[in-house]
Amino acid sequence: MLSDIKATLDFYAAKYNAPDFIKSDPISIPHGFSKRQDIEITGLWTAVLAWGQRKTIISKAQELVQRMDGAPHDFILHHSPEDRQRLLDFKHRTFQATDTLYFLEFLQDYYRSHDSLETAFAETLGPGDATVENALTGFHNRFFSLPDAPARTTKHIATPARRSSCKRLNMFLRWMVRCDDKGVDFGLWKQIQPHQLVIPLDVHVERIARRMGLLTRPQTDWLAALELTENLRRFDREDPVKYDFALFGIGVLEKANGALL
């Protein structure tokens, strides 16, 4: 019954949306900063690198921060072309030097004329938009608007226009937008509302959602992410993506403890 599913999701959302969750999760990287721009930069880059085991993701993101002298925003604004040499051998899975260099170029160009990355998402989002679909499409288009944008880097910034579930960007938006008193998500951005967020549809979330009957679409794509999010709205219309903590927690952390449903 729906009431039983809601009770289960509420229990696990409360269990994992807590400060103890931070230390072993990639969100720990932006939590190492207090400056808004540092949080945004490390949050975006960490989310983009979120492939594989969480320990490896955290390690690679820490390496990236170290290569930017531990001050990402300052490095982004003021680094010279020569300074980029120290990042040329940075890579993680399919994220290679070409991608690193373009990320640096875009972020430098952007932050030299904007105070917050929020604008790059929110500027294409209408007040009546039910989800962040237009924000994600707009950010993708802006990100690749520079003349020398490499085609290979497009796989690292997803867009609903290509039917991607946009898992990593949706996770980043959850970090930046969700606001509560639990201390995990940052709630820095106010132009996007929590009810517009879409669930980050990773393999663990997908598996548990299907087991619970919350996801039926066979493809793992944008429409699947929308279907799951809409079903989660039945339990909390204003903050459906809080259940990311529950679905992920059941799929990964409860499994590790041998306590799966």
Rounded to 5 degrees, φ, ψ at 92 are -150, 115
Confidence at residue 216, expressed as pLDDT on a 0 to 100 scale: 98
Domain boundaries, the chain: 2-256
In whole angstroms, how far apart are CA 206 and each of 97, 130, 209, 225, 257? 31, 22, 5, 9, 19
In whole angstroms, how far apart are CA 217 and each of 21, 222, 247? 30, 10, 17
Q: What are the tokens at 118?
A: 């929020």
The residue ranking higher by pLDDT, 259 or 39, is 39
Check the CA dihedral 172-174-176-180 and report its sign.
Answer: negative
Distance CA 81, CA 75 (A): 11
| Ramachandran bin of 121, using left for φ above 0, alpha for ψ from -120 to 50, beta for the remaining angles | alpha
pLDDT tens digits, residue range 236-253? 999 999 999 999 999 986
Rounded to 5 degrees, φ, ψ at 2 are -60, -35
Q: What are the tokens at 104?
A: 């640096």
In contact, 49 and 95? CB cutoff 8 Å: yes
pLDDT tens digits, residue range 174-213? 999 999 999 999 999 999 999 999 999 999 999 999 999 9
Best CA proximity match to 224, nearest among 167, 158, 172, 179 = 167
In contact, 228 and 199? CB cutoff 8 Å: yes
pLDDT tens digits, residue range 14-27? 999 999 999 999 99
**DSSP label of 218:** S
Distance CA 167, CA 248 (A): 13
Rounded to 5 degrees, φ, ψ at 120 are -65, -25
